[in-house]
Structure 1
Amino acid sequence: MFHFIQRINRKIKRIAAILPKKLASGRLEAKSPTFKTLFPKNAKIERVATGFKFTEGPIWFCEEKYLLFSDIPANKIYKLNPNGQLRIFREPSHNSNGLTKDKQERLIACEHGTRRVTRTEKDGSITILADTFQGKKFNSPNDVVVKSDGFIYFTDPPYGIKPEQQEQPIQGVYQISPDNNEIIIVADDFIKPNGLAFSPDEKKLYIDDSERRHIRVFDVQPDGKLTNGRIFYDMKVEKPGLPDGMKVDTQGNIYCTGGGGVWVFNPEGNHLGTIVTPEVPANCAWGDEDYQSLYITASTSVYKIRVNIPGVKI
């Protein structure tokens, strides 16, 4: 884990070196006239929290009305209220990365430090959902989504471990059954699988590969298995940032963090435009009561921008 924190700190220093001394304000960079219709007139990117080491994994909780997000090297999960009040939700977080929730609003977390996926029960106890596969430890579970029928999907790149610590022969995408009794591999040909998100009807699953810098899309079968994987969009650009966390709105538009900001695509795979962020983004999540705010975790801060189309509630 010390090795992982060192890598994160080096990444932060590289990001800091390429950022201007005074953070530039964000902006909307349209590639299509459609892009402007996704945001209210005069929409602005607002920084709602800052001073962190490396933010990731935002997720909005509807019932209690707050945002949770990870600060990976700080070993903390933070809780942010709409009024801007910030407090520590969990410490240690076991270097949690991606966060999501199930239909019972129970927190699901990918933990780099323990190399596992966990669920926080309503009484605060922790249930381990996945920590080994075929008798071997996972690499470092990174991001996670829950399908409406209870199936959980997570990515397992080796970002949080040293090369000699890797026990799995692949960097896979896994599925956990609703009863937590079975874990299977649903994709095994990624180099660095990372962010993932379902289409609104859950018939497609988008997964990006940070190493190859592209997004792939799969057809989701009735049993939850993935078929017909193909390239959705190639995001290779000479800008800081890699394809990472992503979310989908109710009209099927995909918001994926990447080089230069948050890229927005329509379901047909056209790049509509980019939300250019002041810092390199890592993940995003829909929030606020109407689900019309996009929260963005970006390096040392959390940003927010209002949108016209609500996000898919998870």
Structure 2
Amino acid sequence: MADLNLMKAGIIACGSTNTKNQNALIAESLTFINQAAAGLNPRDWLEIAMLRALMFGLACSLFCLAAQAEGPVKTDEPYARLPLQFGLCDGPSWTGKSLFIPDVKAGILYDYDPVSGMLTKITENVRISGTCYRHGRLYASDNGNARISLLDGHDLTTLAVVDTAEKPVNKPNDLVVDAQGGVYVTLTKPNQVVYVTREGKVSVAVDGLPTPNGLTLSPDEKTLYVASYLPKEIWAYDVTAPGQTANGRKFAFMDDGKDPGADGMTIDADGNVYCAGAKAVWIWNPKGELLGKIETPARPINCKFGDADLKTLYITCFDGLYRQRMTVSGLAPGRDH
């Protein structure tokens, strides 16, 4: 019984040490049990069975904790800056083969092929702040013309104009497209998120949120996440119908100083939420618990998943385009939020 009590103490110790030591103690305890089982009194078999069950449960818990500790970022492959030149690259989107990248400062829309490394100019003299590829086409937040546009070959066509004034004030910032082909668009100055139907009709989906910027939809499209730039908050809204939301609540807050920066957003297949902050890309799980950050040498602007396995996070920053390998994947091509 002394040996059994010793094993019990070892199991209790597992709960108060680090994962590496816990795994070692469990392995040693299991080895001891198997070696000593033949010499134990019959009355001890029930207690041995109970100990085995306890250690099996603890091992399962440790496996889950280890998976959580790994996090969504592939830490053994650090981010890398791609050798591409931009004035100021903004909201990208993945097509399944390549990455659309708008250069909002140079007024150019590019297409980047990660296999060949080629950067191709698609159209110019445009001020696009965000893109979203879905339903086999590219939707663009045509900030310079206060409209939501569709890419047709090398030209942009109008889906909807969000401000018809001669000198428009309400210019679109970022956008995300839903399964119906409708577009949620942030209008930063009037503190609104509007919804544009596939026919081009515009309605207000969210009103009164300070400086809305990036946005994304949950994988099941039941939740709309919106970044509030100046207060550095992420808000979540229930989507009750296309273009209609309810139950707005604060989902997360960036507590990293005074610099503003709740900017572009994306989501992965597990529903984890990503947002570019003042100094890093922040990652939360669907419960709003912080999973980690991807620190960048320059201020990040936006991010999207890409590559053949959808396990590369492309991050646009003030000094160019970065890529970070991940342990989780983004949504399938055509579902790029």
Give the TM-score band, short-chain normalised. Answer: 0.7 to 0.9
Cα distance in 2 for partners of 1:120, 1:49 equals: 26
Query: 1:71 is aligned with what amino acid?
Result: D
Q: Give the secondary-structure state (helix, strand or coil) at the position aligned to 1:221.
A: strand
The alpha carbon displacement at 1:134 in A equals 8.3
Aligned residue pairs total 266
1:197-236 equivalences under 5 Å are 197-236=216-255
Cα distance in 2 for partners of 1:173, 1:294 equals: 25
1:102 to 115, 127, 134: 134
Equivalent residues of 2:280, 2:299 under 8 A apart: yes
More strand by share: 1
1:177 to 172, 189, 197: 197
Cα distance in 1 for partners of 2:284, 2:67 equals: 13
The alpha carbon displacement at 1:293 in A equals 0.6
* Correspondence for 1:25: none
Query: 2:186 is aligned with what amino acid?
Result: T
* Correspondence for 1:40: 74
Which is bigger in relative contact order (C-alpha 8 A, separation at least 6)? Answer: 1
**What is the root-mean-square deviation of aligned Cα atoms in Å?**
2.0
Cα shift readout 1:211-261 (whole Å, capped 9, x = no counterpart): 221000000013430110000011142275501111111111111110221
Q: Residues 115 and 179 from structure 1, CA distance in 2 versus in 1: closer, same or farther, beyond 3 angstroms? A: closer
Equivalent residues of 2:112, 2:119 under 8 A apart: yes
2:275 to 256, 261, 270: 256
The alpha carbon displacement at 1:133 in A equals 5.4
Cα distance in 2 for partners of 1:156, 1:49 equals: 33
The alpha carbon displacement at 1:79 in A equals 1.8
Q: Residues 35 and 245 from structure 1, CA distance in 2 versus in 1: closer, same or farther, beyond 3 angstroms? A: farther
Cα distance in 2 for partners of 1:40, 1:261 equals: 16
Cα distance in 1 for partners of 2:315, 2:74 equals: 17
2:185 to 115, 138, 154: 154
Q: Max radius of gyration: which structure? A: 2
1:81-120 equivalences under 5 Å are 81-82=113-114, 83-93=116-126, 95-104=127-136, 106-120=137-151
Query: 1:126 is aligned with what amino acid?
Result: L
2:88 to 54, 59, 62: 54
Whether 1:72 aligns to 2:137 is: no
Equivalent residues of 1:241, 1:281 under 8 A apart: no
Q: Give the secondary-structure state (helix, strand or coil) at the position aligned to 1:218.
A: strand
Could you list the runs of 5+ residues in structure 1 that have no partner in the other structure?
Answer: 1-31, 159-169
Q: Residues 132 and 301 from structure 1, CA distance in 2 versus in 1: closer, same or farther, beyond 3 angstroms? A: closer
Cα shift readout 1:126-185 (whole Å, capped 9, x = no counterpart): 321221358794612010100012111101114xxxxxxxxxxx23110011222x2100
More helix by share: 2
* Correspondence for 2:257: 238
Query: 1:115 is aligned with what amino acid?
Result: A
The alpha carbon displacement at 1:283 in A equals 0.1
Query: 1:179 is aligned with what amino acid?
Result: E
Whether 1:140 aligns to 2:171 is: yes
Equivalent residues of 1:139, 1:171 under 8 A apart: no
* Correspondence for 1:24: none
Q: Give the secondary-structure state (helix, strand or coil) at the position aligned to 2:144.
A: coil
TM-score normalised according to structure 1 size:
0.79
Query: 1:37 is aligned with what amino acid?
Result: G
Higher mean displacement: 51-60 or 300-309: 51-60
Could you list the runs of 5+ residues in structure 2 that have no partner in the other structure?
Answer: 1-65
* Correspondence for 2:19: none
Q: Residues 281 and 35 from structure 1, CA distance in 2 versus in 1: closer, same or farther, beyond 3 angstroms? A: farther
Cα distance in 1 for partners of 2:218, 2:113 equals: 28
Q: Residues 35 and 129 from structure 1, CA distance in 2 versus in 1: closer, same or farther, beyond 3 angstroms? A: farther
| Percentage of matched positions with identical amino acids | 33
